[in-house]
Amino acid sequence: MTNPSQDKTPLLEVDELAVDYGLKGVSSRAIDCVSFALRAGEAVGLVGESGSGKTTTAMAIAGLLSPNARVSSGEVRYRGNRLPIDDDAAMRPHRWSETSVVFQGAMNALNPVHRILKQIAEPCMLKLRMSRSEATARARELLELVGIPADRGAAYPHELSGGMRQRVMIAMALACRPSIVIGDEPTTALDVITQAQILKLLGELRSQLNLALILITHDLSVVAEACDRVMIMYSGRIVEDGTVAEIFAQPKHPYTRLLIESIPNPASGKKMIRPIPGDPPNLVNRPSGCAFHPRCPSAMAVCATEVPSLDKFGQGHVACHLHRFSQKDRVAAHA
Amino acid sequence: MSRRIGSILIRAIITLLMVAVLNFVLFRVIPGDPASLLLSGARTSVTAEQMAAQRQNWGLDRPLFPDQMVDYLSATLQGDFGYSFKFRGRHVADLILERLPATIVLVGLAQLIAILCGVMLGLYAGWRRGGAGDHIATGASLALYSTPAFWLGMILVVIFSTALGWLPGYGAHSPGAITSSLDWLLDYLGHLALPVTAVALGLIGQYVVVARAAMSDVVTEDYMVTARAKGLTGGQMLMRHALRNAMLPVVTLITLNLGYVVAGAITVEAVFAWPGIGGLTVEALNARDYPVLQGIFLLLGASIVVANLIADLAYGLLDPRVR
Amino acid sequence: MSESIAKYPHPGRTRAIKNFLRQFLGYGGAQLGLICLVFFLVMAALPNILVGPLQTAINATGDFLAPPSGDHLLGTDEVGRDVLNLVVHGARISLTIALLATLISLIVGTTVGMTAGYYGGRLDVWLMRLTDFFFVMPSFVLALVITPVVVEVIGRGQEILGFRPSLFVILVVIGMTSWAFVARIVRSQTLSLKERTFIDRARVVGSSNLSIMARHILPNLVPQIAANGALVVAGAIYVETSLSFLGLGDPLQPSWGTLLSLAQRAGAASAGAWWYLGAPGVCVLTVSLSFVLIGNALDDTFNPRRRVIP
């Protein structure tokens, strides 16, 4: 930790990662050319429609790819070392100790036949080699940490409310003191108030424990509340990344712009919510060129033939042909 | 918790009552009343007066409902199932009690073997589903599931008794003098081997199918992904998270089968002339010995209802969600 | 609008049927089951053309318990009848009993389930209590006591609808005791269908309860009924075989179960006459397995489980 070079190395680097799923002999690419870096204590949002590859990206990082998934190129590095993400057994020591996951809809993510305290204590016993009593004590601590009285530990998952179950899930995720927590739509099944509470809790725990947080969501407003940086995914590729402030103030990719416009925002005075026209792309037969071009309001001829690369633009990156021309041309193209 | 148990108990009692009422109704619609049926076999001819006296004696002159039915139900409750036609004058309850142990031994052993093999094989197939072992186990168990157990028994006799001469295929004991109790036991076990195998094979198919389905449902559950994310090994995931959830439907099936299997073994017992309830059933059917049939039906009904009751209660113990 | 859903074939409906067939026939089990089934149905339809009229002890030609040979492909029984002849004729009897029993079971189960689900209230409670009884008590156990009594009541003389009385009773009793599972499934489906808007629309238009059930609810239940029907047939074959084996069948119209019963009485097993008891048993196994496979494939087609792709 005192090694100065380690401070320069990001906690996590994803480099040109591509993952395929094979189903009945048909192979489809779930993510392609995904690259980004994550520093310790940073909170990044990963936003996209279902099927955009955000979950596959997260599962790849956590080493939880399903058996029919194949890493066809690229790699993931953790503290500078390559992770064997396509080797289930080799990833085992990494899981939960370094990267843990808060799953969506904690009802099914918690085992219905075990008491919650036991489920939180389990990784402490198995991964940290704690004794049963130590693990139980740690689990009680964790429950208090997420705002649940430790005595509720004797409850079964079905006896708790949705928000409580999500807190239990968070407590469980912190059990082995990981450096990265991935939230896989952690607030999707919850009502707005509970959602805000959970996001607040995650934010507090992040600064308290210096956690890096990857928040997967289809909801940009969740990202705005909880993240420093955001990456927008479309059809398996990152199409734009940047700081939250930058993206909201000045979205560069047409898709990002449409996403932001589709957020219902009573404060802005806009009455109409504009849904994005067209359907999400088919993963097996992806459109040629930029996958977004059939739905893009600013599509040009080049968009149908050439895949745009993710280039540096301002503070962040964007993958759009519009921005490969000069600033002047861009203004002209928009006009 | 007590409300659930209460409603389970009430349902069990209603079902039992329906079995008893069905029993009463069925055996009153047979042409000719019980008195003439029973006395028709008498050696000396029966006079009309004797018949009338007997009818009065048995309460057959009173109205069917409610008098006779109430009589029947209260007698049944006291364990009085009437007298057999065939085994002249013997109590049906005695006949059944005499035959029950042989059936319990047969069915109990078969259950034990079927549970050990079938459940383990099914859980394994479900855990490794899609693999070669799974395909073989599933195919074989579907075939066993579709095969009448008694026919398996006949095939076993042809192979192991007639062709190879390894095991006896008839009765429970060899004729002739038995010298020691060890010889007696070995002889008994030899006679048990084939019928137990037939009943067990019939059950294994079912257990494999259900255990496999339960396990393959469990492995797609979200909490299994959580377990994997926690860095558990395959064995830990199986033992700590999958097994107990997968066992829920399996335990239910096992308990239910405890009730059904007495009935299921009837045909197998018939093949092997096993001196149990099945043998008694066949004898009663051939002789139209209705009181015995009635008693057997009551026994089967009661065992099924009790098994259901245990299954419902056991489920509550295993699954915290239904407590 | 709502009329058109049920009455006229929707342009999407033919495509849906095509899709269904493609998916259903994609299962290896379904293919195997259908092939076996067609084979046995042909056998059941044309026994006289295939093997000549049913042999009896009088017109039997072979030796007693002769093993398979060129003359008798499946050997002979204890009175010299050709086992192939018996088995082919048995196919007709076993299959008709099983299919008719299933028909009764489906009609009763659908009626009870739909009535209970549609009307609800006290009727529902009582019908479901009745269903519970038949759900708990296996068809075999009920048929075991009901069949001999009913046969005794109606007598053993005349044929009923071409069946010997005991066979007719067996098929009715199996049908009347195996509907509980269907009733439960139909009820729960009806409960959810009842809440759909097209039912409300039909009600507003003024359709009677009966016509709503027949025209709007029933067509939507077909998938469930079909998948369970296949399993009911397999169960019916099993029960019929077991009952006939215990001697409740009729030797004048021998089903596969009756043949097994005759083989048992003739001591075929201890005489090593594997052909005599093997042939009917293999038939029972094959037909019953076919229906199970078809039922499973139908179930998989109609209720696709979660697939592995995330």
- Minimum CA–CA partner of A62 in chain B: B229
Question: Cβ contacts of residue B288 below 8 Å, gap of 6+?
Answer: B85, C148, C152
Is the domain of A48 the same as that of A186? yes
CB B55 within 8 A of CB B61: yes
Distance between alpha carbon C248 and the CA centroid of its chain, in Å? Answer: 19
Q: What is the pLDDT of residue B46?
A: 67
Q: What is the pLDDT of residue A121?
A: 87
What is the identity of the amino acid at C237? Answer: I
* C293 contact residues in B (CB cutoff 8 A): 142
Q: How does B38-60 read in b/e, with b if 16+ C-beta sit within 10 Å?
A: beeeeeeeeeeeeeeebbeebeb
Is the domain of A78 the same as that of A224? yes
What residues does A76 pair with on adjacent strands? A14
* B297 contact residues in C (CB cutoff 8 A): 141, 144-145
**What is the rounded radius of gyration, in angstroms, for the C-alpha atoms of chain C?**
23
Q: Tell whether C135 is within 8 A of chain B (Cβ).
A: no
Is the domain of B155 the same as that of B196? yes
Preferred mutation among A29, A31, A50, A68 to probe C, highest tally of C CBs within 10 A: A68
Whether residue A270 is contained in a domain is answered as no
Distance between alpha carbon A293 and the CA centroid of its chain, in Å? Answer: 25
**What does B208-246 look like in DSSP terms, one character per residue?**
HHHHHHHHHHHHTSHHHHHHHHTT--HHHIIIIIIHHHH
Whether residue B256 is predicted with pLDDT greater than 50 in this model: the reply is: yes
Beta strands A212-217 and A180-184 are parallel
Q: Kindly report which listed range (B39-43, C48-52, C116-120, C253-257) carries the lowest average pLDDT score.
A: B39-43
* Average pLDDT rounded to a whole number, residues A66-76: 86
Distances from the Cα of B62 to the Cα of B28, B46, B323, C92, angstroms: 13, 21, 48, 48
Which tokens in the block code for residue B305? 């209802």
* Average pLDDT rounded to a whole number, residues B36-56: 66
What residues does A27 pair with on adjacent strands? A22
The CATH number that applies at residue B130 is: 1.10.3720.10
Q: What is the pLDDT of residue A275?
A: 67
The better pLDDT of the pair C282, B322 is held by C282
Whether residue B253 is contained in a domain is answered as yes
Count of domains forming chain A: 2
User: Which chains does C contact via 3+ CB–CB distances below 8 A?
Assistant: A, B
CB C174 within 8 A of CB C142: no
Q: Which of C140, C245, C269 sits opposite B158 (nearest CB)?
A: C269
CB C176 within 8 A of CB C239: no
Residue whose C-alpha is closest to residue C230's, from C182, C180, C174, C281: C182
The better pLDDT of the pair C95, C166 is held by C95
CA distance A127 to A125: 6
Is the domain of A6 the same as that of A85? yes
Torsion of CA A100, A103, A106, A107, to 10 degrees: -120
Q: Which of B14, B148, B266 sits opposite C284 (nearest CB)?
A: B148
Is the domain of A131 the same as that of A184? no
Count of domains forming chain B: 2
Which tokens in the block code for residue B84? 């057999």
Q: Using alpha carbons only, what angle is made at residue C142 by residues C138 and C146, rounded to the nearest 5 degrees?
A: 165
Separation in Å, CA of C28 to nearest CA in chain A? 14
| Contact: C309, A68; criterion CB under 8 Å | yes
Whether residue B177 is predicted with pLDDT greater than 50 in this model: the reply is: yes
- Considering only the C-alpha atoms of chain C, give the largest distance between any 2 of them, rounded to a whole number of Å: 73
| Contact: C152, B170; criterion CB under 8 Å | no
Show which residues on chain A lie within 8 Å of chain B, measured between beta carbons: 62, 64, 89, 92-97, 100-101, 103, 105, 108-114, 122-123, 126-127, 156, 158, 172
- Minimum CA–CA partner of B143 in chain C: C289
Separation in Å, CA of B47 to nearest CA in chain C? 25
Whether residue A80 is predicted with pLDDT greater than 70 in this model: the reply is: yes
Q: Tell whether C197 is within 8 A of chain B (Cβ).
A: no
Show which residues on chain C lie within 8 Å of chain A, measured between beta carbons: 307-310
Distance between alpha carbon B216 and the CA centroid of its chain, in Å? Answer: 28
Q: Which of C307, C308, C310 sits opposite A56 (nearest CB)?
A: C310
* Burial of C295: CB neighbours in 10 Å, binned 0-12, 13-18, 19+: buried
Is the domain of B97 the same as that of B243? yes
Q: Which of A140, A169, A198 is where one domain is finished?
A: A169
Q: Which of B231, B232, B248 sits opposite A97 (nearest CB)?
A: B231
Confidence of residue C6 (pLDDT cuts 50, 70, 90): very low
Per-residue model confidence as pLDDT tens digits over A150-205: 888 888 888 888 888 888 888 888 888 888 899 888 887 788 888 888 888 888 88
CA distance C205 to C265: 65
Is the domain of B14 the same as that of B123? no
List, as ranges, residues 6-35 from A with C-beta within 8 Å of C. Answer: 21, 23
* Average pLDDT rounded to a whole number, residues C292-297: 86
Whether residue B186 is predicted with pLDDT greater than 90 in this model: the reply is: no
CB A2 within 8 A of CB A50: no
Is the domain of A130 the same as that of A84? no
Q: Sketch out chain C's domains with CATH numbers.
A: 27-46+79-304 (1.10.3720.10)
Q: What is the pLDDT of residue C2?
A: 40
Per-residue model confidence as pLDDT tens digits over C226-282: 888 888 898 899 899 999 988 888 888 888 988 888 888 877 777 777 887 888 889
Is the domain of A236 the same as that of A126? no
Is the domain of B120 the same as that of B49? no
Is the domain of A189 the same as that of A86? yes
Residue whose C-alpha is closest to residue A72's, from A14, A12, A17: A17
The CATH number that applies at residue A50 is: 3.40.50.300
CB C66 within 8 A of CB C268: no
Whether residue A214 is contained in a domain is answered as yes
Is the domain of B117 the same as that of B155? yes
Whether residue A4 is predicted with pLDDT greater than 60 in this model: the reply is: no
Which tokens in the block code for residue A80? 């500078």
Whether residue A216 is predicted with pLDDT greater than 80 in this model: the reply is: yes
Is the domain of A122 the same as that of A260? no
Q: Tell whether B24 is within 8 A of chain C (Cβ).
A: no
Is the domain of B139 the same as that of B200? yes
Q: What is the pLDDT of residue C159?
A: 76
Per-residue model confidence as pLDDT tens digits over C203-224: 777 778 888 888 878 888 888 8
Is the domain of A137 the same as that of A10? no
Whether residue B15 is contained in a domain is answered as yes
Is the domain of B149 the same as that of B279? yes
Is the domain of A58 the same as that of A193? yes
CB B208 within 8 A of CB B138: yes
Is the domain of B107 the same as that of B72? no
Query: Helices (H), strands (E): how many in chain C?
Result: 15, 0
CB A190 within 8 A of CB A165: no
List, as ranges, residues 113-152 from B with C-beta within 8 Å of C. Answer: 142-143, 145-148, 150-151
Per-residue model confidence as pLDDT tens digits over A40-55: 888 999 988 887 888 8
User: Which chains does B contact via 3+ CB–CB distances below 8 A?
Assistant: A, C
Separation in Å, CA of C225 to nearest CA in chain A? 30
- Minimum CA–CA partner of B23 in chain C: C145
Per-residue model confidence as pLDDT tens digits over A86-123: 888 888 888 888 888 888 766 688 888 888 888 888 88
Is the domain of B133 the same as that of B266? yes
Q: Tell whether B263 is within 8 A of chain C (Cβ).
A: yes
What residues does A213 pair with on adjacent strands? A43, A181
CA distance B99 to B281: 10
The better pLDDT of the pair C95, C204 is held by C95
Around Cβ C53, how many Cβ atoms within 10 Å?
A: 10
Cis peptide bond N-terminal to B66, omega within 30: yes
When the pLDDT of each residue in chain C is averaged and rounded to a whole number, the result is: 81
Whether residue B246 is predicted with pLDDT greater than 80 in this model: the reply is: yes
Is the domain of A87 the same as that of A218? yes
CB C51 within 8 A of CB C88: yes
Q: Tell whether A216 is within 8 A of chain C (Cβ).
A: no
Distances from the Cα of A240 to the Cα of A181, A234, A321, angstroms: 22, 9, 12
Is the domain of A89 the same as that of A185? yes
Helices (H), A29-131: 54-62, 88-91, 106-109, 116-127
When the pLDDT of each residue in chain A is averaged and rounded to a whole number, the result is: 81
Q: What is the pLDDT of residue C3?
A: 39
Q: What is the pLDDT of residue B266?
A: 87
Which residues span the domain enclosing A143? 110-169
Q: Which of B221, B231, B240 sits opposite A96 (nearest CB)?
A: B231
**What does C230-277 look like in DSSP terms, one character per residue?**
HHHHHHHHHHHHHHIIIIIS-TTS--HHHHHHHHHHTTHHHHT-HHHH
Q: What is the pLDDT of residue C109?
A: 93
Size of interface A-B (CB pairs under 8 A): 68
Whether residue C8 is predicted with pLDDT greater than 70 in this model: the reply is: no
CA distance C276 to C254: 13
Distances from the Cα of C290 to the Cα of A223, B139, C91, C143, C287, angstroms: 55, 12, 14, 24, 5
**Lateral strand order in the sheet of A99-102:** A99-102, A180-184, A212-217, A43-47, A229-234, A237-243, A316-318, A311-313
Q: What is the pLDDT of residue A1?
A: 42
Confidence of residue C105 (pLDDT cuts 50, 70, 90): very high
Q: Using alpha carbons only, what angle is made at residue A323 by residues A320 and A326, rounded to the nearest 5 degrees?
A: 155
Q: Which of A265, A287, A311 is where one domain is finished?
A: A265
Q: Which of A119, A151, A169 is where one domain is finished?
A: A169
Residue whose C-alpha is closest to residue B265's, from B256, B255, B276: B276
The secondary element (H helix, E strand) that includes residue A240 is strand A237-243
Whether residue A305 is predicted with pLDDT greater than 70 in this model: the reply is: yes
Which residues span the domain enclosing B267? 92-322
Whether residue A244 is contained in a domain is answered as yes
- Minimum CA–CA partner of A95 in chain B: B231
Whole-number percent of chain C with pLDDT over 90: 11
Whether residue C112 is predicted with pLDDT greater than 90 in this model: the reply is: yes
Whether residue A45 is contained in a domain is answered as yes
**What is the rounded radius of gyration, in angstroms, for the C-alpha atoms of chain B?**
24
When the pLDDT of each residue in chain B is averaged and rounded to a whole number, the result is: 81
Question: Cβ contacts of residue C108 below 8 Å, gap of 6+?
Answer: C175, C176, C179, C183
Per-residue model confidence as pLDDT tens digits over A243-302: 888 888 888 888 888 888 877 665 555 555 566 777 777 767 778 888 888 888 887 888
Whether residue C33 is predicted with pLDDT greater than 80 in this model: the reply is: yes
Whether residue A308 is contained in a domain is answered as no
Whole-number percent of chain A with pLDDT over 90: 1
* Average pLDDT rounded to a whole number, residues B293-311: 86
Q: Which of B31, B169, B305 sits opposite C136 (nearest CB)?
A: B305
Is the domain of B133 the same as that of B68? no
Separation in Å, CA of B147 to nearest CA in chain C? 5
Whether residue B164 is contained in a domain is answered as yes
Whether residue B47 is contained in a domain is answered as yes
Question: Measured between alpha carbons, how far apart are the two ends of chain A, in Å?
Answer: 52
| Contact: C281, B151; criterion CB under 8 Å | yes
Is the domain of B312 the same as that of B207? yes
Q: What is the pLDDT of residue B36?
A: 62
Q: Tell whether C136 is within 8 A of chain B (Cβ).
A: yes
| Contact: B232, A126; criterion CB under 8 Å | yes
Q: Which of B11, B30, B157 sits opposite C149 (nearest CB)?
A: B30
Whether residue B299 is contained in a domain is answered as yes
Is the domain of B39 the same as that of B127? no
Whether residue B315 is contained in a domain is answered as yes
CA distance C177 to C170: 11
Separation in Å, CA of A123 to nearest CA in chain B? 6
Size of interface A-C (CB pairs under 8 A): 13
Q: Which of B162, B263, B293 sits opposite C272 (nearest CB)?
A: B162
Q: Which of B29, B52, B77 is where one domain is finished?
A: B77
Whether residue B87 is contained in a domain is answered as no
| Contact: B231, A101; criterion CB under 8 Å | no
- Minimum CA–CA partner of A23 in chain C: C309
Whether residue B235 is contained in a domain is answered as yes
Q: What is the pLDDT of residue B41?
A: 54
Around Cβ A136, how many Cβ atoms within 10 Å?
A: 19
Distances from the Cα of A6 to the Cα of A2, A20, B134, angstroms: 8, 32, 48
* A66 contact residues in C (CB cutoff 8 A): 308-310
